[in-house]
A = this chain, B = another copy of it.
Amino acid sequence: MTAAYDALIAHTRQTTALEQAAGLLAWDQETMMPDAGLAQRGEQAAALQLAIHDRATDPRIGDWLAACDGADLPPMALRNVALIRRGFDRATRVPADLQAAIARAASHGHGVWIAARAAKRFADFAPTLDTMLALKREEAACMADPGQRPYDALLEAFEPGLTSAALKPLFESLAGPLSALVQAIAERPAPPPLSGRFPADAQRRLVADVAAALGYRLDAGRIDIAVHPFCSGQGSDVRITTRIDETTPLDCLYSVIHEVGHAIYEQNMPDVTLLEPAGRYASMGLHESQSRLYENQIGRSRAFAGWLYPRLQAAFGALPVDGPEALYAALNRVEPGFIRTEADEVQYNLHILLRWELEERMIDGSLPAADVEEAWNARFAALFGRAVPDAAMGALQDTHWSQGLFGYFPTYTLGNVYAAELFAALERAIPDAADLIAAGDFAPLRTWLTTHVHARANSRPAQQIVADAIGYAPSAAPLIAYLQAKFSGLYALA
């Protein structure tokens, strides 16, 4: 039985190493690759994906798993067996031609979506979305366990163990308080923004210093410029990207702080099990919780504004905001926008709620693509209190659906919920957390997160890791309390 497990895990480790190689190709494409190299890179990435897929569906995995049945293995090995079995079952349940059809539809859909968004015409995208929905429903039906809802089968790819039934009360508890908060803030004057002229070189130096101060290991990572900020890699080679807007330092800085949260999670998992399923990240939601906690609970706190202010002065000279308190307000400006990726902490989860409601109905068949734009606009007006001006600002703004990503959006809000819960627990464990942040002593916070989250990797489901860390079952209550307290103060609400 041990021989079967050894063969299984050696095979899996090699597959993971190939996935890391594929990750490097993707990083290079966004940061280093010369423009002309795109078509060739496509062939390289496709060849690598095929090699990975062949390994992931190798029939010997079934034999090894069968031989491991009932084996007397240590807990991490049993967890590996369970995760590999789950992945193998789900991968082999979907016929290869359906997988290929989805890949083709995603590639085609992405192009159609770009054109439709440029034209601001949802109708141009709707037929393509319907095709994708039919394929994804078929895929969900293949992957689902007996009795599992199709949407939950898709959700599992990103957040194992999560169900839409569990999401429903979470989103319902968020909807009322956040919608009320947004509409109350809208009646208040917005604080001055941090705008002016901020040279690119000075921004690059500043964000490298901030990233290092937060605990990002630059000897095991690097920061580059890309169109979209992202984090790539595992363990001893975790790279982040950012972008630079010379009219404000905040886009670059808070992209870096967000990605640093992801990177610190990846850099602090146990080295020896990095290539094993139980040694990787536990879920997309838990990953996002780490980026959000650094970006918001730490990075947009009053204490952090106090630490950051003199560093901004040193980097850029005189600032357009007068003192740390004004910086704190500028870091937390709430503006009436329409775009999820530009949304502040208060509005962000309402964006996700809206998408989750719509995509769940799209997958269960009760919302055809032709009706999505109208449903979007109606729900947006109810939640945000204003009308969507056009489809590019509304139902066409995100790429996810065009590429078949259904069940991904909820992990963003789950990340915010986990972040609020984990930070509340961290503050109970480290009562002087705000003083440490104000002093730039971030190590004790990172250590607490490593102990309770990073080092646990995927040893158990994400929900369990959070529950173990906070000492009770997760809920949205800490997030709501955090946002209400913070923004009531900032905007002088009753």
Binding site for B on A (CB under 8 A): 13-15, 17-18, 20-21, 24-25, 28, 32-41, 43-48, 50-51, 55, 217-222, 233-237, 239, 274-275
A44 near B32 (CB under 8 angstroms)? no
A21 near B25 (CB under 8 angstroms)? yes
Chain B residues, Cβ within 8 Å of A14: 47, 50-51
Chain B residues, Cβ within 8 Å of A33: 237
Also in contact, A48 and B21, with CB within 8 A (given A43-B275, A275-B43): yes
Chain B residues, Cβ within 8 Å of A51: 14, 18, 51, 55
15 examples of A-B residue contacts, CB within 8 angstroms: A18-B51, A21-B21, A21-B44, A21-B45, A24-B25, A28-B28, A34-B221, A34-B237, A35-B220, A36-B217, A36-B219, A37-B233, A38-B236, A39-B236, A40-B236
Q: Which residue of B lies closest to A221 (CB)?
A: B34
A18 near B44 (CB under 8 angstroms)? yes
Q: Which residue of B lies closest to A23 (CB)?
A: B44
Chain B residues, Cβ within 8 Å of A221: 34
A219 near B20 (CB under 8 angstroms)? no
Known: A17-B47, A18-B48, A37-B237. 11 other contacts (CB 8 A): A13-B43, A15-B47, A17-B44, A18-B44, A20-B44, A21-B48, A40-B235, A40-B237, A41-B237, A51-B51, A51-B55
Chain B residues, Cβ within 8 Å of A275: 43
Which residue of B15, B43, B236 contacts A36 across the interface (Cβ within 8 Å)?
B236
Chain B residues, Cβ within 8 Å of A236: 34, 36-40
A220 near B37 (CB under 8 angstroms)? yes
Q: Which residue of B lies closest to A18 (CB)?
A: B47
B219 near A35 (CB under 8 angstroms)? yes
A34 near B274 (CB under 8 angstroms)? no
A32 near B34 (CB under 8 angstroms)? no
Assembly CA distance A295 to B274 (angstroms): 45
B34 near A47 (CB under 8 angstroms)? no
Assembly CA distance A38 to B275 (angstroms): 15
A224 → B minimal CB distance (Å): 8
A46 near B17 (CB under 8 angstroms)? yes
A273 → B minimal CB distance (Å): 13
Also in contact, A219 and B18, with CB within 8 A (given A51-B51, A234-B40): no
Chain B residues, Cβ within 8 Å of A48: 17-18, 21
Q: Which residue of B lies closest to A220 (CB)?
A: B36
Chain B residues, Cβ within 8 Å of A55: 51
A32 near B32 (CB under 8 angstroms)? yes
9 closest residue pairs by CB, A with B = A37-B237, A17-B47, A36-B220, A36-B236, A14-B47, A17-B43, A21-B44, A17-B44, A51-B51
A27 → B minimal CB distance (Å): 9
A20 near B35 (CB under 8 angstroms)? no
Chain B residues, Cβ within 8 Å of A219: 34-36
Assembly CA distance A255 to B266 (angstroms): 38
A54 → B minimal CB distance (Å): 9
A9 → B minimal CB distance (Å): 13
A188 → B minimal CB distance (Å): 45
Chain B residues, Cβ within 8 Å of A233: 37
A201 → B minimal CB distance (Å): 14
